[in-house]
């Protein structure tokens, strides 16, 4: 016959001395990339440069007098929202 297992909580399945039963304070949360300011500035500058590059493509064609297509409008909107 098949007998279902009794319900056990996740805390009961943890090794002793861990989880809620340990009574210790939880470990401090660390930032994903360590909070390095040079990394933040570099990645932010890269994102702004990418947005500028995406924005300049349709702008060049519009400066020539060519009406913008829906793709160009979507591209400009994406670059501005970035």
| pLDDT tens track for 36-46 | 788 888 888 99
Residue 10 included in any domain: no
Residue 49 included in any domain: yes
Average pLDDT over all residues of the chain: 76
pLDDT given at position 51: 85
Q: By residue range, what is the domain housing residue 53?
A: 36-81
Dist. CA 29–CA 26, nearest whole Å: 9
Q: Coil, strand, or helix at residue 40?
A: helix
Residue 64 included in any domain: yes
Residue 70 included in any domain: yes
- The C-alpha angle 29, 34, 37, rounded to 5 degrees, equals 130
Residue 13 included in any domain: no
pLDDT given at position 37: 82
Residue 8 included in any domain: no
Burial status of residue 42 (CB atoms within 10 A of its CB: 0-12, 13-18, 19 or more): exposed
Residue 24 included in any domain: no
Residue 64 has pLDDT above 80, yes or no: yes
pLDDT given at position 46: 92
- Residue-wise pLDDT for 10-34, tens only, equals 555 666 655 554 556 667 777 666 6
As for how many domains the chain has, the answer is 1
Residue 76 included in any domain: yes
């Amino acid at each position: 016959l098949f007998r279902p297992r009794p319900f056990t909580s996740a805390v009961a399945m943890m090794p002793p001395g861990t989880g809620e039963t340990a009574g210790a304070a939880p470990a401090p949360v660390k930032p994903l990339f360590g909070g390095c300011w040079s990394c933040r500035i570099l990645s932010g500058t890269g994102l702004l440069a990418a947005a500028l590059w995406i924005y300049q493509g349709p702008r060049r064609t519009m400066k020539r007098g060519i009406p913008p297509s829906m793709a160009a409008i979507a591209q400009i909107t994406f670059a501005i929202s970035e």
